[in-house]
């Protein structure tokens, strides 16, 4: 749809919601007897509406933050001095905080900068590409080729972009050789990039997720830090976990359905790995010097080992870990006590320095090449940092206007805690699908949905709140998988030399299948109190049964 068509749909909905709230719920009283007005929903509502219409994240969030600033100013005596004080408040909110000096945001930005730079140097040095090239020799046929591709996508967890750019180009010649369609390659690449990056406790995503969680924890008054909340939500990341399992079982079974089966049949019977009308947008290549494979692998191995070692050791020592190093309880206590984001940032700096040294010694890169690569990494960090700043801005707007308490007061007596996590997953999915950005969806919904879940939990950090943390992240990734305007969807198609629209139409049935399983077997039973691992096992059983039936129904 074009701008006009989207506007004809979204603008009337926006107006209807505003009129309904202004008429029926002009204001509410919080537990602290504060009056919150209906227009507190303006910032997130405007962000979603503009994002759907324009698909421009920064414009949408920027207008939403500006709207929040003006509304907060309007609640005071309108003057230049009060406006200036509001601007100062917002600037401090996204930098050092308004209650003393808090360097949390500074450490998050530092982590993103050095993490992206380290990844850029490691990729350019050929370390990861060499390791993947060696693993690719294990591919002996269509099934093993798909399985190796899926395993590589799972192992390369440091970032969704780096995952796609490494796995797709490296495996493309091998999947072509064994007549695996480009659509299938793009699906495997796409479905093992964002899901694994979002789950990994060391990735380019973790700083962003921890930052959002830490902000919402401060909003609702939790003692937990963002990193602990990330680990609490991890067992309830049903869509991401089941997606990875689905990809692996799909590769092992050798069976497909829907549009993907048609693409696979075409490739197998005709040798055409792409449709005749496919508009391939090119491909990215990963170069490796096979004479220096062993040395190049060290260029990736040493920095990554240092990264993991520093993080694990730092969290344990700084968190005053005691007892067995392998005890989950001991680790939970250590994570709660440690300055997590500071340790992440210092680990990124150490691994970045190690990556430079290894690139010079083992991969024989010149200092000028390393410098150019570092600049590329820093440039790549600008987008995540800009999104993070926008996310902190929308959070500050919601805090100032008390958006969360307003929505919570409206829904607390209407929405059951049983249905709310599933509702959050669906809303996050639709928002991400319409906007094409998972990070932007998280930035909009975490500050608004989590306070509601907290109220539904009886103003305690209970199971509904924890499940909703995972539901927002997973719904954002699911919608992103189905969206034709998503950057990761398009990138996965490009690196696989696949037509982006062919990638979307073949991937969507698989993503929808996993999403339905995640809802029925995961979010709803978990809200009833069923342990998350049982929901995952049930979902896994459904996936295995699905492919067992396909194996019986489809001939070889």
pLDDT digits (tens, 9 = 90+) for 94-148: 877 766 676 777 887 887 788 778 878 887 887 766 766 666 677 778 888 899 8
Domain identity same for 88 and 11: yes
In a domain, 376, yes or no: no
Q: How confident is the model at residue 413 (pLDDT cuts 50, 70, 90)?
A: low
Give the C-alpha separation, 180 to 144, whole Å.
11
In a domain, 109, yes or no: no
How far does Cα 280 stand from its chain's mean position? 26
Domain identity same for 530 and 463: yes
Count of CB atoms within 10 A of residue 3's CB? Answer: 10
Burial of 265-299, coded b for 16+ CB within 10 Å and e otherwise, reads ebbeeeeebbbeebebeeebebebeeebbebbbbb
pLDDT value at 280 more than 80: no
Domain identity same for 57 and 182: no
Q: What are phi and psi of 64, to 5 degrees?
A: -65, -45
Instruction: Out of 51-60, 315-324, 365-374, pick the least confident.
Output: 51-60
Domain identity same for 226 and 275: yes
Q: Are 267 and 180 in contact (CB under 8 A)?
A: yes
pLDDT for the residue numbered 31:
60
In a domain, 388, yes or no: no
Question: 550, 544, 552: which is closest to 517 by C-alpha?
Answer: 544
Instruction: Out of 414-423, 467-476, 481-490, 536-545, pick the least confident.
Output: 481-490
Q: Are 342 and 106 in contact (CB under 8 A)?
A: no
Q: What is the DSSP string of 40-101?
A: GGHHHHHHHHHHHHH--HHHHHHHHHHHHHHHHHHTS--SHHHHHHHHHHHHHHTTT-SSS-
Give the C-alpha separation, 431 to 429, whole Å.
6
Domain identity same for 457 and 494: yes
Query: Which of 66, 101, 136 is the endpoint of a domain?
Result: 101
Question: 333, 344, 313, 376: which is closest to 110 by C-alpha?
Answer: 344
221 CB-near residues (< 8 Å, 6+ apart)? none
In a domain, 273, yes or no: yes
Domain identity same for 94 and 132: no
Q: How confident is the model at residue 353 (pLDDT cuts 50, 70, 90)?
A: very high
Q: Residue 150: CA atoms inside 13 Å, Cβ hemisphere, count? A: 20
- Tell me how many domains the chain contains: 2
pLDDT for the residue numbered 11:
86
In a domain, 325, yes or no: no
pLDDT for the residue numbered 290:
41
Give the C-alpha separation, 444 to 432, whole Å.
10
pLDDT for the residue numbered 32:
63
More confident residue, 392 or 191: 191
Integer angstrom CA distances of residue 345 from 22, 212, 270, 402: 45, 16, 51, 31
- Residue in the structure block whose two tokens are 């209407």: 414
Give the C-alpha separation, 197 to 163, whole Å.
8
pLDDT for the residue numbered 534:
95
524-528-530 Cα angle (round to 5): 90
pLDDT for the residue numbered 284:
47
More confident residue, 483 or 185: 185
**Could you tell me the residue range of the domain that residue 200 belongs to?**
127-288+402-556
Q: Are 298 and 210 in contact (CB under 8 A)?
A: no
Section 37-45 average pLDDT: 83
Record the pTM.
Answer: 0.73
Domain identity same for 284 and 413: yes
Q: What is the DSSP string of 170-239?
A: HHHHHHHHTT--HHHHHHHHHHTTHHHHHH-SSSTTHHHHHHHHHHHHHHHT-S--HHHHHHHHGGG-HH
In a domain, 107, yes or no: no
Q: Report helix, strand or coil for 392.
A: helix
Section 26-31 average pLDDT: 74
Section 533-537 average pLDDT: 95
Domain identity same for 88 and 156: no
pLDDT value at 537 more than 90: yes
Section 328-345 average pLDDT: 72
- Residue in the structure block whose two tokens are 């189905």: 482
End-to-end CA distance of the chain: 40
Domain identity same for 159 and 55: no
Domain identity same for 163 and 94: no
For the chain, the average pLDDT equals 81
Domain identity same for 5 and 55: yes
pLDDT value at 192 more than 80: yes
pLDDT for the residue numbered 494:
77
Give the C-alpha separation, 523 to 469, whole Å.
11
Torsion of the alpha carbons at 124, 128, 134 and 137, rounded to the nearest 10: -100
Torsion of the alpha carbons at 323, 326, 327 and 331, rounded to the nearest 10: 90
Domain identity same for 207 and 80: no
Q: How confident is the model at residue 287 (pLDDT cuts 50, 70, 90)?
A: very low
In a domain, 526, yes or no: yes
In a domain, 469, yes or no: yes
482 CB-near residues (< 8 Å, 6+ apart)? 429, 433, 504, 507, 508, 511, 512
């Amino acid at each position: 749809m074009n701008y006009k068509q989207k506007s004809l749909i979204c603008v009337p909905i926006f107006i209807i919601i505003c009129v309904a709230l202004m008429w029926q719920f002009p204001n509410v009283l919080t537990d602290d007897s504060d009056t919150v007005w209906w227009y507190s929903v303006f910032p997130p509502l405007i962000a979603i509406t503009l994002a759907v219409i324009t698909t421009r994240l920064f414009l949408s969030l920027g207008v939403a933050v500006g709207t929040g600033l003006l509304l907060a100013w309007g609640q005071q005596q309108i003057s230049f001095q009060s406006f200036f004080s509001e601007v100062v408040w917002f600037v401090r909110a996204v930098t050092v905080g308004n209650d003393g000096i808090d360097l949390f945001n500074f450490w998050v930005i530092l982590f993103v900068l050095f993490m992206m730079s380290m990844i850029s140097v490691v990729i350019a040095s050929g370390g990861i590409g060499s390791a993947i090239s060696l693993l690719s020799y294990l591919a002996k046929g269509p099934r093993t080729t798909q399985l190796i591709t899926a395993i590589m996508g799972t192992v390369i967890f440091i970032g969704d972009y780096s995952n796609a750019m490494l796995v797709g180009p490296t495996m493309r010649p091998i999947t072509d050789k064994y007549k695996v369609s480009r659509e299938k390659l793009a699906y495997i690449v796409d479905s093992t990039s964002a899901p694994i990056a979002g789950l990994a406790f060391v990735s380019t995503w973790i700083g962003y997720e921890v930052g959002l969680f830490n902000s919402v924890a401060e909003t609702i008054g939790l003692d937990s830090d963002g990193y602990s909340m990330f680990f609490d939500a991890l067992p309830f990341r049903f869509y991401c976990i089941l997606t990875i399992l689905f990809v692996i079982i799909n590769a092992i079974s050798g069976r497909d359905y829907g549009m993907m089966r048609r693409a696979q049949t075409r490739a197998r019977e005709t040798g055409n790995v792409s449709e005749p009308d496919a508009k391939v947008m090119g491909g990215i290549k990963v170069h490796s010097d096979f004479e220096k494979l062993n040395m190049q692998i060290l260029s990736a191995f040493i920095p990554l080992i240092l990264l993991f070692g520093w993080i694990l050791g730092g969290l344990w020592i700084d968190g005053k870990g005691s007892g067995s190093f392998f005890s989950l309880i001991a680790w939970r206590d250590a994570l709660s006590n440690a300055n997590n984001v500071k340790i992440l940032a210092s680990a990124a700096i150490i691994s970045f320095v190690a990556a430079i040294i290894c690139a010079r010694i083992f991969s024989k890169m010149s200092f000028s090449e390393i410098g150019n690569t570092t600049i590329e990494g820093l440039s790549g960090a600008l987008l995540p940092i800009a999104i993070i700043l926008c996310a902190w801005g929308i959070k500050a707007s919601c805090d100032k206007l008390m958006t969360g308490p307003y929505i919570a007061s409206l829904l607390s007596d209407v929405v059951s805690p049983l249905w709310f996590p599933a509702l959050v997953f669906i809303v996050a999915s639709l928002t991400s699908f319409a906007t094409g950005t998972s990070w932007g969806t998280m930035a909009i919904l975490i500050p608004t949905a989590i306070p509601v879940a907290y109220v539904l939990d009886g103003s305690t950090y209970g199971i509904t709140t924890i499940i909703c943390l995972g539901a927002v992240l997973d719904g954002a990734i699911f919608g992103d998988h189905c969206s034709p305007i998503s950057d990761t969807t398009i990138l996965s198609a490009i690196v696989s030399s696949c037509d982006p629209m062919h990638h979307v139409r073949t991937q969507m049935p698989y993503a929808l299948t996993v999403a339905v399983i995640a809802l029925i077997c995961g979010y709803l039973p978990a809200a009833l109190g069923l342990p998350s691992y049982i929901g995952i096992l049930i979902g896994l059983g459904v996936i295995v049964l699905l492919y067992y039936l396909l194996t019986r129904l489809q001939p070889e």
